[in-house]
Amino acid sequence: MANMPEQLQKRMEKQGYHFVGKHSAVKICEYTANGLRGETLCYKYTFYGIRSWQCIQGTPAIGCDIGCRFCWRLIPEEEGFKWNELNAIDKWDDPKMIVDGMVKEQRRIVSGFKSIADNELKMRRWNEANEPKHVAISLTGEPTFYPRLAALLAEFHSRGISTFLVSNGTLPEAIERLDPLPTQLYISLQAPDEETYMYVTRPKIKDTWKRFLKSLDMLKSLNTRTVLRMTLIKGLNMKNENGYAELILRARPNYVEVKGFSYVGGARNSERELSLDSMPKHDEIREFADTLAKLTGYTRVSEHAPSRVVLLARDEESAKNRIIDFSKIH
């Protein structure tokens, strides 16, 4: 990690991050571990058919241009590191090297689970985990910072690995350049209006709200599956359903994921001004989602209580085709 401050790298490694090259990383997800133990699977399995035990959670860019109060990740600026220092990449790593490294580190991560593969199901899943079929490009940072992101997506697809790319939408020009597009593109919907957005996201660059709106406007014309992902925090952004509905109708994504905030990891930092009381219950998330459905014409098609998340679909076709067809990943 030539461009990563050593102190920050060590801190993140203690939190379970495995670094790849100068600016990429992977980390095991709770549901990947659960899948290998034969326990509860991820909401992505329930919603889209993603096998949790074959999923890589990674990023090609550590830095982020916003600092969301609800984010469970470590925000380097809160640890005294400067934004410019983290983004002074002298030479970006090659996409093939990043994919090779992510697969290698994922295999290293899951290797220890072989010792608990004490039945046929666990052993089969462990063997399958060594051949990842999906990558959630959402671990930390803003992945659209990586200038060769399209080539990275193409490299994953060439290996039969589906891609879910999660962006905060502040770099619409980077999204516009993507060819190929990811299997599924997420834009995070953090607030129903500009004032709340600025307070929740704590941006580090100018014009983030305008940039975000431009990304929303692009969604309906993109030839891939699209999602708005909401993280709702009681007393902060869990309000103004009409404002959210206007943004959803502006973007017209295939899906809206309405998810409850979790008071874990970096979200416990006192600077975030959050608490356990900020966490909505699943029933409250469902009620909020149902209100959005009435306002937008979307339909509640699934939910995952362990993650406190509800899935809304735009139309019958989206609802019918929400399970990923892995035979079409190439």
- Whether 25 is in a domain gets the answer yes
Instruction: Supply the pLDDT for residue 15.
Output: 87
What is residue 250's DSSP assignment?
H
E strands in 144-223: 162-167, 184-189
Instruction: Supply the pLDDT for residue 280.
Output: 96
To the nearest 10 degrees (0 to 180), the angle between helices 120-129 and 30-37 is 140
Residue 63 tokens read as 């830095």
Please give the biggest Cα pair distance in the chain. Answer: 54
Q: Give the whole-angstrom CA distance, residue 178 versus residue 141.
A: 18
pLDDT, tens digit, 9 for 90 and up, residues 107-136:
999 999 999 999 999 999 999 999 999 999
pLDDT tens, the chain, 330 aa long = 346 677 778 888 888 999 999 889 999 999 999 999 999 999 999 999 999 999 999 999 988 889 888 887 776 666 666 655 556 677 899 999 999 999 999 999 999 999 999 999 999 999 999 999 999 999 888 999 999 999 999 999 999 999 999 999 999 999 999 999 999 999 999 999 999 999 999 998 899 999 999 999 999 999 999 999 999 999 999 999 999 999 999 999 999 999 999 888 777 777 778 889 999 999 999 999 999 999 999 999 999 999 999 999 999 999 999 999 988 886
- Whether 199 is in a domain gets the answer yes
Exposed/middle/buried for residue 54 (C-beta within 10 Å: 0-12, 13-18, 19+) = buried
Strand partners, 225: 184
Q: Give the whole-angstrom CA distance, residue 66 versus residue 141.
A: 9
Residue 153 tokens read as 């997506």
Give the strand pairing for 309-313 and 299-304. antiparallel
Q: Indicate the residue type of 156.
A: F
Q: How distant, in Å, are the alpha carbons of 118, 128, 232, 262 from that of 41?
A: 19, 15, 22, 17
Which residue, among 182, 184, 169, has the nearest Cα to 68 in the 3D structure?
A: 169
CATH code for the domain of 265 = 3.20.20.70
- Whether 1 is in a domain gets the answer no
- Whether 275 is in a domain gets the answer yes
Q: Which domain holds residue 52?
A: 6-328
Q: What's the structural domain count of the chain?
A: 1
pLDDT, tens digit, 9 for 90 and up, residues 49-108:
999 999 999 999 988 889 888 887 776 666 666 655 556 677 899 999 999 999 999 999
